[in-house]
Structure 1
Amino acid sequence: MTVNHPSDRVPTVGFLYPGYSAEDDYPLLERLLSRSGGPVQLPLVHTDIGEDAHRVDALLRMGGAERLAAGVGPLKERGAEAVVWACTSGSFVFGWEGAREQVRGLAAAAGMPASSTSFAFAHAVRALGLAKVGVAATYPDDVAEHFVEFLKHAGAETVSWRGHGIVTAAEVGTLGRDRVIELVQAGNHSQADAVLLPDTALHTAAWLEDLERAVGKPVLTANQVTAWEGLRLVGAAGVPRPGLGTLFKTGAGAPQA
């Protein structure tokens, strides 16, 4: 389901973001996207993170329906036409069907189209026709394995993956440009069509072109695909927006005729 809006309406997507780590990627993405392909609005509301831990039990609690529903009201007040749960691990740990149910519940609570970062990756992989991917995960290995399993349902084969054992989102949020480039290089593989960085706590918005140059292929990052997914839901992803990686440059995600 996508939203059709008048030509003079600025596409507005709301994001539910757990805690405080790399939320400043979203106002930056709003500025960069508006500059490169027309105005968009990306309001964000922080949700209760509970325990900051990349552990399956903590992540399942963090992605609970009540916590997500609590942030919907402020987003509606700010004119959101769709809402995205801006968390990868707090969605894929539920498994494919569990993550679908999470999104259905969020859509019902919000009264508007909804998605999550995990499905953003799945849809981006399909939109770009990626058959084989490499994964550079900040998470401990047991959490990263859940993401690899999730990608199978999107039709993508993970030809290489690497976890980096970082337990908290707070620590991930401190990683700078050089360290993020090291992460994407570590997740690369000669057979991979692209490299995926699945953590919305990781700053990447300012370095999307640098990351792709570092490996010579498309790179999909969590905050990048989350913004793209939201624009896809409101019918605004088909506008080519250069400077933000292959996903935005190609205008992937245009509504089908």
Structure 2
Amino acid sequence: MDLGLLYPTRDCGEADFAELCRRLDPAIGLGFAYAEWGETVGDLGELDAAGQTAAVREIGAPERLTRAADAFATTPDVVSWACSSCSFTRGLDGARAQAAALATHLGVPASSTSLAYLAALERLDAGRVALASVYHPDLTALFTAFLAEAGVTTVHAVSAGAGSDRELAAWGPERITELAVAADHEDAQAVLVPETALHTTPLVTGLEARLRKPVLPATAVTVWDALDRLGAVPVRDGLGTLFTDGAGLRRPSSSSS
């Protein structure tokens, strides 16, 4: 089974995806193709909040994604636009349009990290979340609005105001842990960490033990959702709630987000 990930920047979080897939099942094939940033985007970390929002909206244009998908060496069995902000900034309809364009273009199931969050929260029956956001507060608010469109309430959110995805890829375990702990709230049924550049696979089990609730990093939800669309999610200890033997999960509905 081959999982195709569209990704925004080379040499950031790919190793975390590879580690997760290897620990789930070494037979999972993993391929990357890269969407192109807009011609006016230089260093994302140097842009102000409005500039960052415009840049991530631009790269998520469906025509950019389908063009990037042509770079896969072979057609994958399932594809996901593996970027949180580049999918939620267009709203729920925009995220669905991205996935629909990819599915039509490649002829395979398609999703994105943002849609994966909705699928995971539905499966967990979790309607109240805490948000450990690496983004500027303006981008955090857009993700909160995206979740609200799908009926998910954000009870608490923190915003780290980080710059580029390359900066985020260099974050160590302590900084990621501090962000997740700061975001947690007693009313939250899950803690979301929406950034695919972060290296979170080795941390999720410890975070769930500490916070006593599901912790959903972007890498984990993206891979889980893609495999779930193929009906092929492995059960593995040590990789968080989504990959346990049905603990905390309800049966899938007949339709997907």
Q: Same fold (TM over 0.5)?
A: yes
2:106 alignment partner in structure 1: 110
2:77 equivalent to 1:81: yes
Q: Aligned equivalents of 2:37 and 2:238: distance in 1?
A: 32
Q: What SS is found at the alignment partner of 1:125?
A: helix
Shift of 1:253: 7.9
Shift of 1:213: 2.2
Distance of aligned partners of 1:189 and 1:256 in 2 relative to their CA distance in 1, 3 Å threshold: closer
Extract unaligned runs of 5+ from structure 1: 1-10
2:7 alignment partner in structure 1: 17
Does structure 2 retain, via aligned residues, the 8 Å contact 1:25–1:203? yes
Shift of 1:83: 0.5
Q: 1:42 aligns with which of 30, 42, 48?
A: 30
Does structure 2 retain, via aligned residues, the 8 Å contact 1:106–1:114? yes
Shift of 1:255: 5.6
Q: 1:146 aligns with which of 142, 145, 150?
A: 142
2:61 alignment partner in structure 1: 64
Shift of 1:254: 6.5
Q: Deviations over 1:12-50 (max 9, x none)?
A: 211001103211111111111116xxx322222232234
Using the TM superposition, name which of 85-94 and 51-60 deviates more: 51-60
Percent identity among equivalent residues? 38
Distance of aligned partners of 1:126 and 1:250 in 2 relative to their CA distance in 1, 3 Å threshold: farther
Does structure 2 retain, via aligned residues, the 8 Å contact 1:235–1:254? no
RMSD: 1.9
Letter of the structure 2 residue corresponding to residue 244 of structure 1? L
TM-score normalised by length of structure 1: 0.88
Does structure 1 retain, via aligned residues, the 8 Å contact 2:24–2:235? no
Q: Aligned equivalents of 1:187 and 1:15: distance in 2?
A: 28
Number of residue equivalences: 242
Where does 1:47-196 land on structure 2 (aligned, <5 Å)?
Answer: 47-50=35-38, 51=41, 52-53=44-45, 55-75=52-72, 77-196=73-192
Distance of aligned partners of 1:207 and 1:49 in 2 relative to their CA distance in 1, 3 Å threshold: farther
Extract unaligned runs of 5+ from structure 2: none
Does structure 1 retain, via aligned residues, the 8 Å contact 2:125–2:250? no
Q: 1:209 aligns with which of 175, 199, 205?
A: 205
Dislocated runs of 4+, deviation >3 Å:
250-257
Does structure 2 retain, via aligned residues, the 8 Å contact 1:125–1:154? no
Q: Deviations over 1:156-198 (max 9, x none)?
A: 2111011111121111111011111001001100111110001
TM-score normalised by length of structure 2: 0.88
Q: What SS is found at the alignment partner of 1:182?
A: helix
